[in-house]
Structure 1
Amino acid sequence: MSIPAILLPVFVQVALTFALLLWTGSRRLHALRGQEVRPPDVALSQKAWPAPAQQAANAFGNQFELPVLFYVLVVLAIFARKADLLFVVLSWIFVATRFVHAGIYLTTNYIPHRFGAFLAGAVVLMIMWIVFAVRILAGPWPA
Structure 2
Amino acid sequence: MTGYEMFWPLVAQSVLILVLYGLLGLRRSAAVKAGRAKVEQFRENREEPSESLVVRNAIANQFELPVLFYAVSIILFMTQADNLPAVIMAWIFVAARYGHAYVHVTSNNLRYRSPLFALGFLALAGLWIWLGVWLAFS
TM-score normalised by L of structure 1: 0.90
Aligned to 2:73: 74
Q: CA deviation at 1:39?
A: 3.1
Count of residue correspondences: 138
Matches for 1:17-32 after TM superposition, within 5 Å? 17-32=17-32
User: What do the CA deviations read for 1:99-130 (whole angstroms, capped 9, x no partner)?
Assistant: 10001001110012111111110111001101
Matches for 1:3-82 after TM superposition, within 5 Å? 3-46=3-46, 48-82=47-81
Distance in 1 (alpha carbons) for counterparts of 2:27 and 2:40? 17
Q: CA deviation at 1:42?
A: 4.0
Work out the percentage of aligned pairs sharing the same amino acid.
30
Q: CA deviation at 1:84?
A: 0.2
Q: CA deviation at 1:60?
A: 1.2
User: What do the CA deviations read for 1:54-112 (whole angstroms, capped 9, x no partner)?
Assistant: 11111111111111111111110111011000011111110000010001001110012
Kindly indicate whether the alpha-carbon contact (under 8 Å) linking 1:31 and 1:49 is maintained by their aligned counterparts in 2: no
Aligned to 1:105: 104
Runs (5+) with no aligned partner, structure 2: none
Alpha carbon RMSD of aligned pairs, Å?
Answer: 1.3
